[in-house]
Amino acid sequence: MNQKQNIKVPLLDIPLSYKEVLADVEKNINAVIESGYFILGPVVEELEQKIVTYCEAKYAVGVSSGTDALLISLMAAGIKEDDEVITTPFTFFATAGSISRLGAKPVFVDIEPDTFNIDTKQIEENITRKTRAILPVHLYGQCVDMDPVLDLAQKYNLVVIEDAAQAIGSEYKGRRAGSMGDYGCFSFFPTKNLGGFGDGGMVTMNSEELYEQVKILRVHGSHPKYYHKMIGGNFRLDAIQAAVVLAKLKYLDKWTEKRRANAQTYNRLFKEMGMTDSLTLPSEVIPHHVYNQYVIRVKDKRDELRSFLGENNISTEIYYPLPLHLQDCYLSLGYKKGNLPESEKAADETIALPIFPELTTDQLEYVVATITHFLKK
C-alpha cells in the first residue's frame, strides 16, 4: 500500500505520555505517602485551587469521578423524581444515567451535524412545566453554543450543568468550559486530556452557597462530622489522584496545543490528498477546541474503514455507536428510530482517529495515507 506499513498508531499511548512528567508525578505521590492524607486533604485542596484558576471559576470541589461530578451537581440542584432534565443523546452514558439515578427523566434534544453538540435552537420546544435543568455536553473538546442555553435558563428559571468531561481548557467567547453554568463537571479518567491514575473528577461553580452544598454532599451530607441535614454520598477525591493530576496540570496547555497542531496537520493532509469529498473533517465552529477526540465522518463505509485501519495497525474508536435515546434501558421513554436523526446519523458515520500529543509526523501521514488508500480503491 505504501512505504510505512510497519508503523503502528495506537489510539492513545498512556505510558509514553508519562515519560515527560514521571519525575513530577513520582515526587507528588511520594509526598502524599509521607503526609498520610490519602483521601481529600491538602493536595486535593491545592488541586481545587489550581483548577479554579485554570477554569476561571470561583470555586472547585474534587470528587471521585466525572460521573459523580454530574450526579452530585444534579443532587445539589435538587433534581428529584419526575423532574425533567434536557440533554443530548449523543454522549457517554453517564450524562443521562446520572439524571436517571435520581428518578428524573432525561429529555433528549438532537445535535448539530457540524459540532455534534446539542442543537440549542431545539431546546425551548422541549421545555415543559417539569423541566428543572439543562445539561449541555461539550463533546470531543468543543464548547456548546452557550449563550442561548444561558438565556433560556434565565427565562425559565432553570439550572445549567455543563458536562465538560472532554473539554478542560476549551473556550466559548473567551470563557472557559465549566465557568459558564451553575456547575461545571470534569473527569480525570486516564484517557482524558488531563487524566489521573484512575477515576477522579471536579465540580466548578461561581456561587459560594452551591460550593458549600457540594462539599457537604461529597461526605454523605455530613456537616459537622457525623451530623446530617441532607443525604449525600461518598464522592471524595483520593489524594493520589489529585497528586497525579496536579503534576500534569502544568503541562496541559502544551499538550493541548500539540493536539490542535495534530488536528491541523490531519486537516491539511486530507485536503492535499483530495479527500474532502469522501469524508467530513471536524469543524471548529466554537474556538477554542481542545480535541479530546478528532472525529471524522465517513458515509456508508465507516465500519469497513475501521476494520481496514485495524488490519493496518491503526487503532480507532467510535464515540458513540448507539445514541442514548435508542438504548434498551431508555426504550420506556418512547423514542423511536428516526426521532433524532442527526444523532442517529452521527452514530453511523463517525470515527475517532488518534490525536494524542506524542503522535509523530510519520504516524499522522500514515493514518491519512491508509484512509486515502481505502476510500479511493
Q: For position 235, which CATH number holds?
A: 3.40.640.10
Residue 7 belongs to some domain of the structure: no
Same domain, 220 and 369: no
How many CA atoms, within 13 angstroms, populate the side-chain half-sphere of residue 218? Answer: 22
Same domain, 215 and 283: no
Residue 359 within any structural domain of the chain: yes
- Alpha carbons 24 and 129: distance in angstroms, whole number: 51
| Residue 107 counted as domain residue | yes
DSSP 331: G
Say if 1 falls within a structural domain: no
Tell me the pLDDT band of 246, cut-offs 50, 70 and 90.
very high
Please write the tens of the pLDDT for every residue from 170-190. 999 999 999 999 999 999 999
Statement to judge: residues 294 and 158 lie in one domain:
no
- CB distance 204 to 60 below 8 Å: yes
pLDDT tens for each residue of 257-274 = 999 999 999 999 999 999
pLDDT at 95: 98
The overall average pLDDT reported for the chain is 96
**Same-domain status, 80 and 228:** yes
Q: Are 203 and 64 in contact (CB under 8 A)?
A: no
Rounded CA-CA distance 25/31 in Å is 10
Domain boundary among 188, 218, 249: 249
Q: Are residues 218 and 106 in the same domain?
A: yes
> Is it the case that residue 91 has pLDDT exceeding 90?
yes
Task: Assess whether pLDDT exceeds 70 at residue 255.
Answer: yes
Distance CA 19, CA 31 (A): 20
Say if residue 235 is in the same domain as residue 143: yes
Look at residue 5 in the predicted model and tell me its pLDDT. 63
The answer to whether residue 336 is domain-embedded is yes
Residues 245 and 308 in one domain: no
- How many domains would you assign to the chain? 2
pLDDT in tens, 122-173: 999 999 999 999 999 999 999 999 999 999 999 999 999 999 999 999 999 9
Q: What does the block give as the cell for 320?
A: 458513540
Q: Examine the fold and report which residue of 249, 273, 307 is the final residue of a domain before the chain moves on.
A: 249
Q: Are residues 119 and 236 in the same domain?
A: yes
Instruction: Say if 340 falls within a structural domain.
Output: yes
Q: Write the pLDDT tens digit of every residue in 34-82.
A: 998 999 999 999 999 999 999 999 999 999 999 999 999 999 999 999 9
Residue 201, φ and ψ in degrees, nearest 5: -160, 180
Domain that holds residue 221: 17-249
Q: What is the 3-state secondary structure (H, E, C) of 109-159?
A: CCECCCCCCECHHHCHHHCCCCEEEEECECHHHCCCCHHHHHHHHHHHCCE
6 pLDDT tier (thresholds 50, 70, 90): confident
Q: Are residues 222 and 288 in the same domain?
A: no
Domain match, 94 and 121 both: yes
CATH code of residue 355: 3.90.1150.10
Rounded Cα distance between 178 and 164, Å, is 6
Burial of 97 (0-12, 13-18, 19+ CB in 10 A): middle
State the Cα angle at 107 between 101 and 112, rounded to 5°: 125
Give the pLDDT of residue 376.
86
Residue 11 lies in a domain: no
Is residue 103, in this structure, part of any structural domain at all?
A: yes
Domain boundary among 234, 249, 264: 249
Predicted model pTM: 0.95
pLDDT (tens digit per residue) in 94-131? 999 999 999 999 999 999 999 999 999 999 999 999 99
Residues 264 and 276 in one domain: yes
pLDDT at 2 over 90: no
CB 340 within 8 Å of CB 330: no
The confidence score (pLDDT) of residue 25 equals 95
Residues 38 and 175 in one domain: yes
pLDDT score of 377: 77
